[in-house]
């Protein structure tokens, strides 16, 4: 690239990020603080427009003041940026403009093929890196090759319910869970959160086209173009089908037959592209056999209920599916280390949470509670507790809060709003 043009981009972007609205403080900010004194490369990944760049802004303003280098590779003027030729030129530009600094902030790095070699070389020289990216596969493949053991990962999702309330400037009084007026306020806003989701830009402007454009950008820019998908119409039809069927099960073979594809591998590739872009997620049925997990039907979830509502029919026909999707994303938000499954064996449990070699928790989502539904869901939960030798299970409800003992096992019923707001 032309050095003068590169300088113009660097100066302009630095001024923009210094002036950028910090927005509400992300919960991830203070989780990342513990990484500051560790030399490892910090990778912040997540779907487009989930707030990764804003989080970088918060990190810079909180701890780095003027002592940093920054570049956002989403800038169309950097489309010809080459890892082999331009990274050294970029470092020279940084030195000339801002002197010797020790920390790089590189936004949407996956747009530059071979970026990891520069990062590895500079890391070995003692530089610190904060990097964002919107493609899980590209990041993991490149990191595994060149930065194994030298990086820390943090996934960023759209606003949690706590962040949603802060964005809406809704404070919670002390002991709010025991105050009727506070609970009513929370329930009202929870309904809005289910409807609107947590993408910051949409919540700011409340224009559905923002979500539709985001959805389109992920499909076209992050998947169709990046992976060279030829059957673009079929791919879009599959995505629309999956979005309409969140919280339901499907299988590679079923999708192959519905859309008349020649190979199950094509379907598998498509679902991997969707997961890599953080748009859709596919959850395996729990089994101790890896082979059975691969061939079992998958449960389908979307990154955000608001996004899903904007591009498909609303969840109003079955609020339970929306809640289940919401719970899944919250589980992903809370722990990137945990493995999430569903359980099915003469009954079904929505979420099996496994950490390491042990199943840690079972969660049943039963939003609309009646006697028949409660009996069925609890019966399935108890069977799963027997299999995994757990003494307690959780049922997430609309507003039903109690504990009971059934067959010498503790069943905890907890309202969704309470579960979403609990401190962790």
Give all strands of the β-sheet with 348-355 in edge-to-edge order: 339-344, 348-355, 358-365, 392-397, 409-415, 402-406
Examine the domain organization and report whether 24 and 140 are in the same domain: yes
pLDDT in the model for residue 381: 96
Examine the domain organization and report whether 123 and 226 are in the same domain: no
Examine the domain organization and report whether 281 and 401 are in the same domain: yes
Q: Residue 290: which pLDDT band, with cuts at 50, 70 and 90?
A: confident
Q: Which of the residue ranges 31-45, 285-299, 372-386 would you say has the lowest mean pLDDT?
A: 285-299
Examine the domain organization and report whether 215 and 136 are in the same domain: no
Residue 284 inside a domain? The answer is yes
Residue 374 inside a domain? The answer is yes
Residue 173 inside a domain? The answer is no
- Which residue range(s) make up the domain with 111? 3-155
Residue 168 inside a domain? The answer is no
pLDDT in the model for residue 144: 66
Residue 318 inside a domain? The answer is yes
Mean pLDDT of the chain: 93
Residue range 24-41: average pLDDT?
94
Examine the domain organization and report whether 414 and 295 are in the same domain: yes
| pLDDT exceeds cutoff 80 at 166 | yes
Total residues found in the chain within this entry: 424
Classify each residue of 121-157 as buried b or exposed e, where b means 16 or more C-beta atoms within 10 Å of its C-beta. Answer: ebbeeebbbbbbbbbbebbeebbeebbeeebebbbbb
Q: Residue 230: which pLDDT band, with cuts at 50, 70 and 90?
A: very high
Q: Which residues are within 8 A (CB) of 420 and not within 5 positions of it... i.e. 6 or more apart?
A: 160, 161, 162, 190, 326, 330
By C-alpha distance, which of 62, 212, 71 is closest to 129? Answer: 71
pLDDT in the model for residue 50: 96
Exposed/middle/buried for residue 208 (C-beta within 10 Å: 0-12, 13-18, 19+): middle
Residue 171 inside a domain? The answer is no
Q: Which of 155, 189, 214 is the last residue of a domain?
A: 155
Give all strands of the β-sheet with 151-155 in edge-to-edge order: 69-72, 103-107, 128-133, 41-45, 151-155
Q: What is the CATH number of the domain that holds 334?
A: 1.10.10.10
Residue 169 inside a domain? The answer is no
Examine the domain organization and report whether 258 and 346 are in the same domain: yes
Q: Would you say 414 and 396 are in contact if contact means Cβ atoms under 8 Å apart? A: yes
Q: Which residues are within 8 A (CB) of 62 and not within 5 positions of it... i.e. 6 or more apart?
A: 29
356: Cα separation from own chain's centroid: 21
Exposed/middle/buried for residue 393 (C-beta within 10 Å: 0-12, 13-18, 19+): buried
Q: Which residues are within 8 A (CB) of 141 and not within 5 positions of it... i.e. 6 or more apart?
A: none
Q: Residue 316: which pLDDT band, with cuts at 50, 70 and 90?
A: low
Examine the domain organization and report whether 332 and 374 are in the same domain: yes
Q: Which of 155, 189, 216 is the last residue of a domain?
A: 155
pLDDT in the model for residue 145: 73
330: Cα separation from own chain's centroid: 9
Residue range 23-32: average pLDDT?
94
Instruction: Give the chain's domain count.
Output: 2
Examine the domain organization and report whether 205 and 86 are in the same domain: no
| pLDDT exceeds cutoff 80 at 116 | yes
Strand partners, 362: 352
Residue 163 inside a domain? The answer is no
- pTM for this model (two decimals): 0.94
pLDDT in the model for residue 141: 63
Exposed/middle/buried for residue 73 (C-beta within 10 Å: 0-12, 13-18, 19+): middle
Examine the domain organization and report whether 300 and 374 are in the same domain: yes
Query: Which range is most confident: 90-104, 288-302, 334-348?
Result: 90-104
Exposed/middle/buried for residue 91 (C-beta within 10 Å: 0-12, 13-18, 19+): middle
Examine the domain organization and report whether 271 and 341 are in the same domain: yes
Q: Which of 155, 189, 220 is the last residue of a domain?
A: 155
Examine the domain organization and report whether 203 and 116 are in the same domain: no
Q: Would you say 342 and 350 are in contact if contact means Cβ atoms under 8 Å apart? A: yes
Q: Residue 118: which pLDDT band, with cuts at 50, 70 and 90?
A: very high
pLDDT in the model for residue 336: 82
Q: Residue 24: which pLDDT band, with cuts at 50, 70 and 90?
A: very high
Strand partners, 103: 128
Distance between CA 137 and CA 204 in Å, rounded? 30
Residue range 333-358: average pLDDT?
93
Examine the domain organization and report whether 258 and 186 are in the same domain: yes
Q: What is the CATH number of the domain that holds 111?
A: 3.40.50.300
Percent share of the chain, pLDDT over 70 = 97
């Amino acid at each position: 690239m032309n050095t003068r043009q590169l300088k113009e981009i660097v100066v302009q972007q630095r001024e923009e990020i210094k002036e950028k609205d910090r927005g509400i403080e992300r919960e991830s900010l203070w989780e990342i603080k513990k990484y500051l004194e560790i030399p490892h490369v910090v990778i912040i990944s997540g779907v487009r427009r989930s707030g990764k760049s804003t989080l970088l802004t918060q990190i810079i303003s909180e701890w780095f003041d003027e002592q940093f280098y920054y570049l956002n590779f989403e800038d169309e003027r950097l489309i010809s940026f080459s890892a082999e030729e331009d990274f050294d030129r970029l470092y020279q530009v940084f030195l000339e403009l801002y002197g010797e600094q020790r920390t790089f902030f590189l936004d949407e790095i996956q747009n530059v093929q071979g970026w990891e070699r520069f990062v590895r070389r500079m890391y070995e020289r003692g530089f610190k890196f904060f990097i964002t990216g919107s493609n899980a596969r590209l990041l993991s493949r490149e990191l595994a090759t060149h930065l194994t053991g030298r990086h820390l990962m943090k996934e960023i999702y759209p606003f949690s319910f706590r962040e949603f309330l802060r964005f809406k400037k809704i404070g919670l009084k002390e002991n709010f869970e025991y105050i009727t007026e506070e609970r009513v306020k929370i329930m009202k806003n929870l309904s809005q959160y289910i409807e609107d989701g947590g993408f910051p830009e949409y919540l700011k402007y409340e224009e559905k086209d923002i979500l539709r454009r985001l959805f389109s950008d992920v499909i076209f820019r992050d998947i169709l173009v990046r992976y060279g998908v030829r059957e673009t119409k079929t791919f879009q039809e599959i995505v629309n089908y999956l979005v309409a069927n969140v919280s339901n099960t499907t299988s590679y073979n079923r999708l192959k037959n519905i859309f008349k594809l020649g190979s199950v591998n094509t379907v598998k590739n498509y679902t991997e592209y969707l997961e890599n872009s953080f748009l859709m997620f596919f959850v395996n049925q729990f089994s101790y056999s890896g082979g059975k997990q691969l061939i079992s039907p998958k449960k389908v979830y979307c990154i955000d209920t608001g996004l899903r509502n904007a591009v498909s029919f609303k969840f109003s026909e079955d609020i339970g599916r929306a809640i289940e999707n919401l719970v899944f994303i919250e589980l992903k938000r809370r722990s990137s280390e945990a493995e999430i499954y569903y359980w099915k064996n003469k009954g079904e449990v929505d979420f099996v949470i496994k950490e390491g070699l042990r199943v840690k928790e079972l969660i049943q989502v039963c939003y609309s509670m009646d006697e028949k539904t409660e009996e069925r869901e609890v019966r399935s939960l108890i069977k799963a507790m027997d299999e995994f030798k757990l003494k307690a299970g959780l049922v997430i409800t609309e507003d039903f809060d109690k504990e009971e003992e059934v067959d010498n096992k503790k069943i905890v019923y907890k309202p969704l709003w309470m579960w979403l707001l609990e401190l962790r």
